[in-house]
Amino acid sequence: MLTEAVESYLAVRRATGLEFKSQGSLLQGFAAYSNAVGKQYVSSETAIEWAGAARSLNQRARRLGEVIRFARFIHAEDQRHELPPRAFGGEKGPRPVPYIFSKDNIQRLVQTAAQLGRRDTFRGHTYSAFFALLACTGLRLSEAIGLCFQDITSDGLVIRRSKFRKSRLVPLHETAQVGLERYLQRRRPYAPFDDHLFVSLRRRPLLKRDAQTAFQTVIEKIGIPRGPRLPRPTIHSLRHTFAVRALENCPGGRDRITKHMLALSTYLGHSNVANTYWYLQATPDLMRSIADSTQSFFTGERP
């Protein structure tokens, strides 16, 4: 019975546009555990036992949180399902401080990536263009990997059914258009049987793990400082950097800032503008600007 209830719940959530892959796996695991111990309804004790088997506190809180949301859904139809308490606290810990690349480091990253694969220069050209595109557009890794020839238009790149199953148009600066076309001139004759923009030496779309491995190789070569208390540069840091630089160039004035934030949120493909505002915390320059604006407001210098 509980297994069927979980599948019904997942069907409803997915019908709203959510993929719910990891959440579905967790709830299916909870249903199997409950069935194994003879529980046909959500039990607080069973839910806490199952969630408590996770290794870390954050994992326990997340597992229990998924059960709580499911329990609220199914409890509305059948009150024999209990609503477990949050025995492991909140699910979300503090966000890690993102690594923000300098302009010089991005140039070195792109140049060094071009040197990958000395025996086959196509690999170097691929990753150089790939990292450059991520840096100048703020695309998610999966979005860049999924790009196909048909997604290149005169108005920009069409991102099809990405995260949250949304599509959007990403305009390109003329310098980015030139760089992309330069790469495509090398790309077109190499693997004519696959229409993805970025392909591996196997003539297949790039894999996330291969792109991440290439990125870390380049990071080590250019010698970016690493340490336990320093932000860790990841391939996703290029997206963080794009967002922060865009915010640093935000025009003054409350109405203009609001429009700028909304445009940036749409450009990045965020489901909620609050996810874009989080980037305001990313650099000292932004925090200093916020502090100065706040002080000016309270001293009457600005309306």
What is the model's pLDDT at position 43?
A: 95
Catalytic residue among 127, 183, 267, 279: 279
Question: Is there a catalytic annotation at residue 125?
Answer: no
Q: How far apart, in Å, are the Cα atoms of 218 and each of 1, 64, 95, 107?
A: 52, 39, 25, 12
- Give the pLDDT confidence of 75-121 residue by residue, as tens digits: 999 999 999 999 998 877 667 778 889 999 999 999 999 998 766 68
What is the model's pLDDT at position 281?
A: 59
Question: Is there a catalytic annotation at residue 279?
Answer: yes
Catalytic residue among 140, 187, 196, 245: 140
What is the model's pLDDT at position 105?
A: 95
Catalytic residue among 80, 86, 92, 163: 163
Provide the H-helix boundaries in the chain.
2-15, 21-36, 44-51, 57-75, 103-113, 121-137, 141-145, 174-187, 208-222, 237-248, 254-268, 273-277, 284-298
What is the model's pLDDT at position 268?
A: 86
CA end-to-end distance (rounded Å), the chain: 60
Q: Residues in the chain with pLDDT < 50?
A: 303
Question: Is there a catalytic annotation at residue 240?
Answer: no
What is the model's pLDDT at position 179?
A: 93
Question: Is there a catalytic annotation at residue 236?
Answer: yes
Question: Is there a catalytic annotation at residue 288?
Answer: no
Question: Is there a catalytic annotation at residue 259?
Answer: no
